[in-house]
Each structure stands twice: as C-alpha cells, then as structure tokens.
Structure 1
Amino acid sequence: MRIVFAGTPEFAVPCLRAAANKADVVAVYTQPDRPAGRGRGLTPSPVKLEAVKRGIPVHQPESFRSAESRATLRALEPDLMVVVAYGLILPQSVLDIPEHGCWNVHASLLPRWRGAAPIQRAIEAGDTQTGVCLMQMEKGLDTGPVLLAQAIDIGAEETGGQLHDRLAELGAQVLGDALGLLRATIQLPAQPQAVDGVTYAHKLDKAEAKLDWSQPATRLVNKVRAFNPWPVAEAQLAGERVRIHAASALDEAHTAAPGSVLRASREGIDIACGIGALRIRSLQREGGKPVSAQDYLNARRDLLGA
C-alpha cells in the first residue's frame, strides 16, 4: 500500500510509526515550520522530525486551495491518506484522491467530543471513559463513519498530558490493526455515528485557565487535571497569582467566602470553593518552578496560621 500521512503534533508521531511499519509511507504532510521558543526561530513539527529521520519526503503546504497543491498529492498515487491531528481542513477534492479515501485517528469515542481538544474536554467534563476512533473522513467536522474504536478508562487523577500519551499509543495500535486488515483485503465495516450525544471539544484558550473559586471544587479539580501541562490552571491565592499543577477536591461543608484559605499544612493548601474545597498539592509562583505545597509554605509562612 502507498500511504500519504498527514499530521503535525507529538500525538501523531506514534501513528506515523505504525503506518510506516505496515505500509509504504510515500510522503508526509505537516504544518509549515512555526516560530517557537524564546528566540522565536522557525521550528519543525514533531511529525516532520520523525519523517526526516525515516527519510520520508515532507510537504508543508499552507492549504489545499490551489490546484497545484492537489496535483502534487495526486501525483503521489496514494492508496490511502491517514490524517492525525493535521491542523488543516481537507476539502472534498482532496478526500477523493486516494483509492480508499482518507482515514482519521480521533482521540474520543465519537460522536462525543468532536473537534480540536477532545482529550482535555473529556477530563474537564468529568468523563470516566474515552478512547480512540478510526474514522472514514468526510467533509463535516469529525462526522464520518467509524471503522474501528477502542475505549479506555480515565484515571481518577489522570492529567491531560498523561491521557494524551496513552491515547497516542492507543491510536497507533488501532491504526496498525486497521492497516493490517486492509492489507489482508478484509473490509472494515463503516458504522455511522449516532445522532444523539454529539458534543464539541472547542480549542483550548489560555483565558479559560483562570479558576473561579465560586464554582464547585469537583469542577475546579477537573480543570486542573485537564489543563496540565497546558495552559495550566491559575488562580489568586492569598493575594498572589499562582499556577496550580495538582489538586484534590474535598467534600467539605463550610461557611467561608470562596477563595479563602481554610487551612495550610504539608498535605496541601485548602481553599474554600462554592461547594466543597480545593486542596492544592503542587503549585508555581510567578517566575518559579512547580513545587509541593509544603515547599511553597516555606516561603509563605503567613499561611500556616490560617
């Protein structure tokens, strides 16, 4: 099989490896190099780095609007195009080029969490299960029929970063299984997505990271987990802006104003919420590094008497 692979971030790298192990990846499409880091130098995507290491030709068009960009893809004569977190919307004229169309590896159990940030939105919403779907792409946003799916449980304290890594490997496994079936000429049954239960995972915005202490502690702890490692939850703590890396929800009745420090000890700093309390276990001061609550209190002795 001649496969064209399209992907950009680290999440897509395990799938590229799986595709290369099962078929002839004749080209890789990825986003153009973008400025990154303190020097704002042009930085290649993780998928580009993996492709270069494997000696796979790389294409980085800004879009597929031009006839030339589509002609370049058509000239590759792909049997299949595999798309994983590519970052470009593919028009129907591109979806129709490969003989077997385009497959997409998506990190949710569709139709729940269509869109850009399914991993983080699942944790933020308090979901206890998610998974990976291999979808036959069509023009709509993550609306195509599902070819293969695999579910996994979300850990009670699992962060967005941890779940990201597990789903990246699971996606590679699902893709590898599907490519093996396709090579064996076994038809994958395309199951239309359910009409009910559709939700959208909107792109993460840094402004969302600010915690509102008037909300329930259970909602805030889900945000802390979901937004780790980016954009990282932040809040005002006793007059200081901090970023919160790890926390727990306490089912505790109180009459304190939201945002008040209820107690501070080596176990954590307990903050009054609209319902319950949030125990902060790891946090970061402006310009500092993440530290435990105990180490933070060494510099904020005033909180120990709360």
Structure 2
Amino acid sequence: MEKQKKIMVLCGGKFAFKSLQLLAYEKFICAIGIGKSNITIIEALERESEENNFGFKSFANKKSMEEMRTWIDDIQPDYIFCISFPFLLPEAVLSYGQDKFINFHPGPLPQYRGPMPIFEVLKNNEPETAICAHFMNAKYDEGNIIFNDPIAIQTGETYGKLTVRLSDRMAQVTLNMANMLQFASSIPNHPQDNTLSYYYEKPEISDTYINWKRMSTDEIIALINACNPWNSGADATLLGEQIKIIIASELNEPHNNQSGTIVSITDTINVACEDNKQIAIEILSTEQGIMTVRQFALLNSVMVNAFNNIYKQQLI
C-alpha cells in the first residue's frame, strides 16, 4: 500500500480550524504554520501540534518568511496547503517543488482575487460564491485553477454567517483534495482567464460607507450584510453622529423624500432611498456601544424629539 501523503498547512487563523481538525483526524497533517495572528490562536495551534507530534512554526511578519524554506526542507512535506495565509510565498519557497503548493481561496477565481472575497461577493450582491483550489505562483491568486466549488449565497446572509459556512465547506474541500493527491499521479488544472480577472484590495472606509444618493436599497442592504460583523456594520452619519449600521431590512413603502432623508423614527429608523423604497435600521453601533433604535432614541431623546417635531432630518 502506498505511503500516506504528508501535508503541511499554512493558515491565518480560526477560518482554517475545521480543515485542520479534519485533515488531522484523517492523518494527513505533518506540520502547521501560522501567519500573523493573535496570541491565543497561535498558542492553541502550537499546543495541538505538540500533542499530535506535528511540526509547528509561527510567521509573525514578512521578515520571518525568510525562515520558511529551511523549515519546509526539514519537514519534507509532499504538499503544502494554504488557507487564508496572509503572506505571499516568495520564489525561494515555491521552488521547493512544482505543483506542491495549493491555495484554497474563499471566492471564485479569477473574478474575485484579493484578501477579502467574502466581503466583495456580498457587497456585489452575488447569488453564489465558491471555494477555489489552485496551484500557487509568486503572484496573489493567479496560479492555475484546479476547480471552483460553487456555494449558493443565502438571502440576507451576513459576512459572519457566510464565513462560518465557507469554513465548514472548506474542511470537506481540503479533505477531498488530500484524498485526490493520495491516489492521483497528476491533478488536472488550467490557466486562469485573465480577461475575467479582477483584484480587490483590502476594503477602506470609502468601500464601507453608505452613499444614500447613489446606492439603491438592495445595494445598501448588501453592504450592511457584507460589513457584519467584521467592520461592526456599514459606516454612515445619523443625526449628526458617525455610526455603523449593523442590521437593517427593506421597507417597501414609497416616499416623497430626497434619498438619505429620515422618513420616520419608531422602533426602527426608516430612511428614504433613491429607488423610492426605504430601509428600516434595526441595530446600530455608536461610540456608546451597540444598541437597538429604541435604545438609541432614549440616549438621543432631544434630537429625536426635535426630529419628530419637524419630521425631517437629512443624513449626510
């Protein structure tokens, strides 16, 4: 019987935990490397590695990547899996072996290259996403594709919910790949179609800010869901205060107000949108904490009463 393939896993944190657990249970893992993460996660992985006799190494920054090739040469894995590893692997590391490095990207390639495809597919209101397995080269997310495993996006799905579902699916995808490598002499793959490619940089404040005058109701709700919880909500201005909207829903009621105008304040803050619909804000985050609209109204009773008296307040 052929000897079990040894797989090293390079990861970036909790998103890879379920994959690590399943690969370890099936006795594929020989070593774990983690790139820049919090101390709790690093210590947990180091402890598990010691208990299971895995190699372990933490790569805290780009400078520490200079040690990776020596470490890989010592471990001698058959393959290296990457799951949300934060650093680009240099040629000196990749030269360990052609088609030895496989990245599992939590978004469809080549359309969603970049560090946060989960945010981007939700913000763009895509009906589905994917986990893409691809061989690695010296550029982010550009190696030959092995497969895209499609995953439907559920109605109202947030960044947090989709991340958990992708983490669950990732475990099965990585195990399937490990089994494929165990029995296949070569893995079919194909170059990416660069005419379809787009690279999304890490989101900035301009990417998470609601533009009431230009965004439709669907686009605003999609942005709010895409920002929950990693950005603590979508950025906005409300009654002169910088806030983050965490939960909101569509209110299919027409209005005669300029987009961005508060139409009414009850248990929700109802805001006019440019497509003649409204969004009903339910949960928001302020400098005083995360709260419901009722709690926000109590803390800002003077401003809310003033609004209710004049029945119109413009959001900036």
Same structural fold, with TM-score higher than 0.5 when normalized by the shorter chain: yes
The aligned length equals: 295
Partners of 1:80 and 1:99 within 8 A in 2: no
The aligned counterpart of 1:220 is 220
Find the residue that maps to 2:8 and give its secondary structure. strand
2:31 corresponds, among 27, 32, 46, to 27
Query: For residue 183 of structure 1, what is the aligned residue in structure 2?
Result: 182
Counterpart among 54, 57, 75 of residue 55 in structure 2: 57
Structure 2 residue identity aligned to 1:220: I
Tell whether the 8 Å contact from 1:137 to 1:143 is kept in structure 2 after alignment: yes
Query: Secondary structure at 1:133's aligned position in 2?
Result: strand
Residue 16 of structure 1 aligns to a residue whose secondary structure is helix
Q: 1:65 to 1:59 in 2, by over 3 A?
A: closer
Q: Which runs of 5+ in 1 are unaligned?
A: 34-42
Q: Counterpart of 1:236?
A: 237
Task: Report which stretch shifted further, 232-241 or 61-70.
Answer: 61-70
Counterparts of residues 259-270 of structure 1 (less than 5 Å): 259-266=260-267, 268-270=268-270
- The corresponding residue for 1:114 is 113
Matches within 5 A, 1:1-306: 1-32=5-36, 43-44=38-39, 46=41, 49-55=44-50, 56-61=54-59, 62-63=61-62, 68-98=67-97, 100-185=99-184, 187-206=186-205, 208-216=207-215, 217-231=217-231, 232-266=233-267, 268-275=268-275, 276-291=277-292, 293-299=293-299, 300=301, 302=305, 306=311
Percent of paired sites with the same residue: 23
Looking at structure 1, the residues matched to 39 and 65 of structure 2 have their Cα atoms a distance apart, in angstroms, of 23
TM-score by length of 1: 0.86
1:187-227 deviation line (CA, Å, top 9, x unaligned): 43213323332222321224533322212222221111101
Choose between structure 1 and 2: higher helix proportion: 2
Output the aligned Cα RMSD. Answer: 2.5
Q: In the aligned structure 1, how far is the partner of 2:281 from the partner of 2:65?
A: 51
Distance across 2 between alignment mates of 1:283 and 1:256: 23
Q: Deviations over 1:47-97 (max 9, x none)?
A: 652342242332124337876542222121111111111111001221231
Which residue identity is paired with 2:76? E
Deviations 1:130-168 (A, max 9, x none): 011111112222111222332111122111111111111
CA separation of 1:59/1:263 partners in 2, compared to 1, >3 Å: closer, same or farther?
Answer: same
Deviation per CA, 1:1-48: give whole Å up to 9, x if none: 222211112212222223323344232221246xxxxxxxxx326365
What amino acid is the match of 1:174? V
Larger CA deviation: 295-304 vs 105-114 = 295-304
Q: Tell which deviates more after alignment, 182-191 or 5-14.
A: 182-191
Alpha-carbon contact 2:107-2:131 (below 8 Å) kept: yes
Please list the CA deviations of residues 231-273 of structure 1 after superposition, one character each: whole Å capped at 9, or x if unmatched: 121222223332211112345543423332112223x211123
CA contact (8 A) 1:64 1:91 kept: no
CA distance in 2, matches of 1:30, 1:125: 30
* Gap regions ≥5 residues in structure 2: 312-316
CA distance in 2 between counterparts of 1:25 and 1:290 reads 44
